[in-house]
Amino acid sequence: MRSRVFFAYSREGPAVSELVRFDGVVKKFRTPRGGRQTALDGFSMTIPRGSLVGLLGPNGSGKTTALKVLLGLVRADQGTLRAFGHDLPRDQRFVARKMGAIIEGPAFTPSLTGHHNLRLLGELHGVKKRLVDEVLDLVGLAEAAHRSYSGYSLGMKQRLGVAAALLPSPELLVLDEPMNGLDPEAVRDMRELLVRLQREREMTVVVSSHILAEVELVCDRVTIVRHGRVICDDSVETLLARGPARTVLRGPEVSSARELLDAHGYSVIPAAGSELHVSTSGPSSEVLRVLAEHGVFPDEIRREKASLEDAYIEAVRKADEERAQIVDTNKLSTRGRPHAS
Ligand SMILES: Nc1ncnc2c1ncn2[C@@H]1O[C@H](COP(=O)(O)OP(=O)(O)OP(=O)(O)O)[C@@H](O)[C@H]1O
């Protein structure tokens, strides 16, 4: 039989396939100088039940704010948010019981052991000691459970954070940058843990991250946020299939090729071994034509499948282009408007 921790599937009748839906959510913060900082600007996304969602976006794009709104830590100014078939913030208390989270790093008492820290948190949720042992085991900290938290590595601290988030037996686990600052081994442990929670425990997991290669490996869905708006909310498969292909150029002339292609609006990433990765929605021959017209001839050219990084950079570039066009159009229409007399 399933343990109590994870026996959390819908008791409200048929399973809701869409666990969360943000629709046009707006959040503006007051700044110390009395201004307004827009963190969410019509934010819309869905979280399907059972998915492992990667929430991506540049620093300050609104990821943490969106997660805080979902968790009831911040109140939206406009828009609608539904979770588990309930409206938020109206039914926040009901929905809160179904979610576990780490936002901006968990706070633990350094002098206490991992086990003791969790016992104290467990008392808040009214959970039994057995459950504390179970979550510690699940995150791979059973052996280190009775060591003091201050001696834990960063990876162990992050996993203890996940263990704490699992204490309320959540259906939805929300983790803000759980892989931040971890070494490759700890990243791998965290990746395996997330996949296990999703596949074996049937949990829905949302992770915000800047580590695109990891997101590509573990997530089945990606939401990209830019300037408080969602510019892509899709399965990783669809995003990669729809995204640009990559033309790889190699040779001594790649730095001039980079300048040229940059100037022609291509997304260009320099890589190791004098390689240049060029995201292209059209055929590689278009890239070669631009180079040849300027007398630049790479030694080697090959075409590769795009990575999530290519798709991400392309999505952000397109969104910025569209935004710049809207700004230009607004400027023109303001200039063209007759002055009030
Ligand atoms: N409490 C607050 N008061 C004022 N401004 C805030 C507050 N919280 C967030 N912001 C601003 O809202 C915007 C979005 O911030 P948020 O933390 O949601 O971004 P993020 O995508 O999570 O960034 P990062 O990747 O750096 O964690 C930023 O401009 C930030 O400075």
How would residue 15 be classed by pLDDT, with cut points 50, 70 and 90?
very low
The residue type found at 203 is M
8: phi then psi, degrees, rounded to nearest 5: -130, 20
Does the pLDDT of residue 151 top 90, yes or no?
yes
Mean of the pLDDT values across residues 270-299?
84
User: 178-192, 239-253, 320-334 — which is least confidently predicted?
Assistant: 320-334
Mean pLDDT, residues 182-197: 88
Confidence of residue 14 (pLDDT cuts 50, 70, 90): very low
Which residues on adjacent β-strands are paired with residue 245? 280
Ligand 1 atom 10, closest CA: 39
Atom 29 of ligand 1, residue of closest alpha carbon: 60
103 CA from centroid of ligand 1 (Å): 12
Mean pLDDT of 51-66: 95
Q: Which of the 8 DSSP states describes residue 177?
A: S
Specify the range with the lowest mean pLDDT, choosing from 18-32, 154-168, 302-316.
302-316
Helices 129-138 & 154-166 angle (0-180, nearest 10)? 130
Per residue in 70-91, pLDDT (tens digit) is: 999 999 999 999 999 999 999 9
What is the C-alpha to C-alpha distance for residues 70 and 22, in angstroms, rounded to an integer?
Answer: 9
Q: Tell how far the Cα of 94 is from the centroid of ligand 1, in angstroms.
A: 27
Residues with CB under 6 A from ligand 1: 29, 31, 37, 39, 57, 59-65
Higher-pLDDT residue of 2, 29: 29
Ligand 1 pocket mutation pick from 30, 31, 37, 227 by most atoms within 8 angstroms of CB = 37
Average pLDDT on 104-128 reads 88
For residue 177, the CA-to-ligand 1 centroid distance in Å is 14
At 246 the pLDDT is 83
* Residue scoring higher pLDDT (254 or 55): 55
Q: Where are the CATH 3.30.70 domain residues in the chain?
A: 244-305
Mutate to test the pocket of ligand 1, among 22, 29, 74, 227 (most ligand atoms within 8 A of CB): 29
Q: What is the pLDDT of residue 337?
A: 62
Number of Cβ within 10 Å of residue 340's Cβ equals 4
Highest mean pLDDT among 42-51, 208-217, 252-261, 273-282: 42-51
Chain centroid offset of residue 238 CA: 17
Q: How far is CA 228 from CA 13, 26, 105, 233, in A?
A: 34, 8, 22, 14
Partners of 226 in the β-ladder: 229
219 vs 3, more confident: 219
Q: Whose CA is nearest to atom 31 of ligand 1?
A: 60
pLDDT at 242: 78
Residue 30: beta bridge partners? 36
The token duo for 143 is 């052996």
pLDDT of 119-142, one tens digit each? 999 888 788 888 999 999 999 999
CATH architecture of 4-240: 3-Layer(aba) Sandwich (3.40)
Q: What is the spatial distance between Cα 64 and Cα 176, in angstroms, rounded to a whole number?
A: 7
Phi first, then psi: give them for residue 317, nearest 5 degrees.
-60, -45
Using a pLDDT cut of 70, give the percent of the chain over it: 91
CA of 89 to the centre of ligand 1 (A): 20
Higher pLDDT, 230 or 243: 230
Q: Whose CA is closest to atom 20 on ligand 1? A: 60
* Residue 42, C-beta contacts closer than 8 angstroms, at least 6 positions apart: 24, 25, 26, 79, 228, 229
Closest by CA to 73, choosing from 42, 39, 46, is: 39
Inter-residue contact 9 to 171 (CB < 8 Å): yes
Q: Which residues of 116-129 are buried (b: 16+ CB within 10 A; e: fewer)?
A: bbbeebbeeeebee
The DSSP bridge partners found for residue 263 are none
Please, what is the average pLDDT of the chain? 87
Looking at the domain that runs over 244-305, which CATH code has it been given? 3.30.70
**6 DSSP 8-state letter:** G
User: Nearest-5° angle of CA 74, CA 77, CA 79?
Assistant: 105
How far does residue 119's CA lie from ligand 1's centre (Å)? 32
Given a contact cutoff of 8 angstroms between Cβ atoms, the answer to whether 90 and 255 are in contact is no
Q: How confident is the model at residue 334 (pLDDT cuts 50, 70, 90)?
A: low
* Cα–Cα distance measured from residue 66 to residue 2, given in angstroms and rounded to the nearest whole number: 32
d(CA 270, CA 254): 8
Kindly give the distance from the C-alpha atom of residue 69 to the centroid of ligand 1, in angstroms, as a whole number.
12
Can the peptide bond before residue 89 be classed as cis, meaning omega within 30 degrees of 0? yes
Instruction: Identify the sign of the CA torsion 190, 145, 105, 233.
Output: positive
Query: What are the start and end residues of each CATH 3.40.50.300 domain in the chain?
Result: 4-240
